[in-house]
């Protein structure tokens, strides 16, 4: 790559990062939550907290989303759907794990129908603790992600047991 190409690549990457930071589209996935976290997510995304003013928008299709917001522990029933949703998202993609249950299993830890936390199934970039976390905490988690994006370095996946179908 010559010097001219390097300059253009740098400029294009800067424009991409700028565009991404100002238009984050998020898809929400409940992998087994009691709905407490989901209500806080909805409060965050609706006009009271109004994250659309930062360009953050709830998107219905994972194929158009940048960020996957996951709530709850991962149940056996939801595991495959969570993996499929993650795989359908275009690169680069990011995952935010919201609530104690999504981080560690929380009150559902050890239940016969749960396979574990979100990062037991897919890579997670940002963890937001709480039961449930308040909208301010959710916004703070999104800001963490944007800060990492601004620095040009999204956090390396924290995954311990990436399923083969994702690790490939």
How far apart are alpha carbons 102 and 127 in whole angstroms? Answer: 9
If one asks whether residue 34 binds ligand SF4 (CB under 6 A), the answer comes out as yes
Q: Which of 74, 101, 115, 142 binds ligand SF4 (CB under 6 A)?
A: 101
If one asks whether residue 116 binds ligand SF4 (CB under 6 A), the answer comes out as no
Say if CB 36 and CB 131 are below 8 A apart.
yes
If one asks whether residue 111 binds ligand SF4 (CB under 6 A), the answer comes out as no
Say if CB 114 and CB 74 are below 8 A apart.
yes
If one asks whether residue 82 binds ligand SF4 (CB under 6 A), the answer comes out as no
Chain positions 36 to 65 lying near ligand SF4, rule: CB under 6 A, are 36-37
* Binding window for ligand SF4 (CB under 6 A); candidates: 4-12, 19-27, 28-36, 79-87: 28-36
* Binding window for ligand SF4 (CB under 6 A); candidates: 9-17, 82-90, 97-105, 152-160: 97-105
Say if CB 93 and CB 66 are below 8 A apart.
yes
Q: Which of 26, 28, 33, 75 binds ligand SF4 (CB under 6 A)?
A: 33
Q: Give, as one character, the DSSP assignment of residue 63.
A: G
| Residue whose beta carbon is closest to ligand SF4 | 36
**Minimum CB–partner distance for residue 117 and ligand SF4 (Å):** 11
If one asks whether residue 99 binds ligand SF4 (CB under 6 A), the answer comes out as yes
> Between β-strands 25-30 and 57-58, what pairing exists: parallel, antiparallel or unpaired?
parallel
**Minimum CB–partner distance for residue 75 and ligand SF4 (Å):** 11
Residues 6 or more apart in contact with residue 78 via CB below 8 angstroms: 29, 30, 31, 32, 72
If one asks whether residue 72 binds ligand SF4 (CB under 6 A), the answer comes out as yes
How far apart are alpha carbons 47 and 25 in whole angstroms? Answer: 16
Rg (CA), the chain: 16
| Nearest one of 10, 19, 29 to 87, comparing CA atoms | 29
* Residues found near ligand SF4 in the complex (CB under 6 A): 33-34, 36-37, 71-72, 99-101, 106-107, 131-132
């Amino acid at each position: 790559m010559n010097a001219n190409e390097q300059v253009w690549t740098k400029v294009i990457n800067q424009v991409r990062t700028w565009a991404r930071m100002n238009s984050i589209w998020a898809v929400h996935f409940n992998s087994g939550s009691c709905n407490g976290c989901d209500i806080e997510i909805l409060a965050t995304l609706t006009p009271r907290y109004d994250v659309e003013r930062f360009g953050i928008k709830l998107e219905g299709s994972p194929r158009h989303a940048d960020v996957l917001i996951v709530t709850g522990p991962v149940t056996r029933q939801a595991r495959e759907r969570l993996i499929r949703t993650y795989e359908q998202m275009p690169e680069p993609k990011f995952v935010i794990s919201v609530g104690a249950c999504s981080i560690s299993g929380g009150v559902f830890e050890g239940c016969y129908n749960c396979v574990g936390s979100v990062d037991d199934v897919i890579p997670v970039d940002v963890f937001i603790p709480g039961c449930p976390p308040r909208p301010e905490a959710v916004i703070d988690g999104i800001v963490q992600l944007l800060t990492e994006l601004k620095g040009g370095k999204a956090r390396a996946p924290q995954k311990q047991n990436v399923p083969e179908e994702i690790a490939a």
